[in-house]
Amino acid sequence: MAYQQHYFEAVREAQSRAYAPYSQFKVGAYLVTKHGQTYSGANVENAAYPMAICAERSSLVAAISDGVQPGEFESITITVDAEQPSSPCGACRQFLKELCDDDMPVYMTNHKGEIIESTVGELLPLGFSGKDLTK
């Protein structure tokens, strides 16, 4: 399914709930499953900086915790308040690789509504996940 305008509205709402007192860089994520379920995520920072949780992982953890299975995701939209849309960090790319299909769309937006479309596979080429393990 292609990008829809209401994804932008939903991801901006998710972003408004971010807790980013240290970086002031609020990120929102809006995850859609193949069954039409939706999950929002926001980054949550911590004074122990490495302990922060990114918006992308926040939404994926909520979905998996709710019983959604890996591979059942249709798309994720991410937004930031920056001049250019930002891509997921390395940890989030790995999380997406583990839980989502390589051809799943990743829509990266900014506060102006500009969008860059990619896929999980394009964001982490030659990536490795549990799908690559054999017994």
- Sketch the domain layout of the chain as residue ranges: 5-117
**75-125 per-position pLDDT tens digit:** 999 999 999 999 999 999 999 999 999 999 999 999 999 999 999 999 999
67 is written with which tokens?
A: 């019983």
- In angstroms, the Cα distances linking 51 to 43, 62, 71 are 11, 17, 27
- The pLDDT of 57-67, averaged and rounded, is 98
How many beta carbons lie within 10 A of that of residue 94, not counting itself? 16
**Predicted local confidence at residue 128, as pLDDT:** 85
Task: Report the range of poorest mean pLDDT among 20-29, 76-85, 124-133.
Answer: 124-133
Q: Which of 45, 56, 72, 122 is catalytic?
A: 56
pLDDT at 64: 98
Average pLDDT for residues 14-18, to the nearest whole number? 98
Which CATH architecture group holds 5-117?
A: 3-Layer(aba) Sandwich (3.40)
**Known catalytic membership, residue 56:** yes
Distinct helix (H) and strand (E) counts, the chain: 4, 5
For 49-83, give the DSSP string.
GGG-B-HHHHHHHHHHHTTPPTT-EEEEEEEESSS
Q: How far apart are CA 6 and CA 28, in angstroms?
A: 14
